Amino acid sequence: MSKATTPQAQDFMTRKVRTVSPEMSLDEATRFLKRYKVSNAPVVEQDAEGHRILVGFLSEGDCLEHLSNEVFFGSPAPQQTVTTMMKRHPVCVEPEMDVFTLASIFVNHGYRHLPVASDGRLLGIVSRRDVLHALNDFYQDTFKDRASKRFPPNLKELVNHRFILKR
């Protein structure tokens, strides 16, 4: 029997992540989320080597808050941008983080998505749904191995079946 290894974020994270730039306006950011049907986006800047450096995280809630304030109170001065709306220093997870640690973070803190980063570079994103599916797959794989240990066959019944006489 093969023993399944505990899944890590890098095994099931989404690698092709739609990102926004800090300079985008409130309107551009809102249209971006709507166009790509995503509820959040990492905010990135490019470093000299072309890597995406994570500088923040923008959610629909952030846009909703600022858009409702702008509509209700009138145009703000200065204009809202992703930089003024984003969560700075977002909670990130490392690619080697195991599925049980991820599940604990999602359950205890109510996050729906978390960026996966290493050395400040955005590598992907992991969602609560991704963790649920990965944990369920892991459970299904390991349950097969455990089933025989949890419910060992009754050897007395097996032995007795050999001696049943049919008339």
Q: How high is the pLDDT of residue 141?
A: 87
Q: Round to whole Å and give the CA distance between 81 and 83.
A: 5
- Of the two residues 162 and 67, the one the predictor is more confident about is 67
Q: Which of 8-22, 23-37, 136-150 has the lowest mean pLDDT?
A: 136-150
Q: How high is the pLDDT of residue 72?
A: 84
3-state SS, residue 127: strand
**9-148: CATH topology:** CBS-domain (3.10.580)
**pLDDT tier for residue 166 given thresholds of 50, 70 and 90:** very low
Q: How high is the pLDDT of residue 41?
A: 97
Residue 18 has pLDDT above 50, yes or no: yes
Residue 161 has pLDDT above 70, yes or no: no
Residue 113 has pLDDT above 90, yes or no: yes
Q: Which of 1-15, 32-46, 74-88, 149-163 has the lowest mean pLDDT?
A: 149-163
Q: Where are the domains of the chain?
A: 9-148
Q: How high is the pLDDT of residue 164?
A: 46
For the chain, give the mean pLDDT: 87
Q: Round to whole Å and give the CA distance between 148 and 151.
A: 5
Contact 69, 76 (CB under 8 A): yes
Residue 17 has pLDDT above 60, yes or no: yes
Please list, in sequence order, all residues whose beta carbon lies within 8 angstroms of the beta carbon of residue 124, skipping any fewer than 6 positions away.
Answer: 9, 10, 13, 14, 15, 17, 95, 115, 116
pTM comes to 0.78
Residue 90 has pLDDT above 60, yes or no: yes
135-160 mean pLDDT: 69
**pLDDT tier for residue 152 given thresholds of 50, 70 and 90:** low
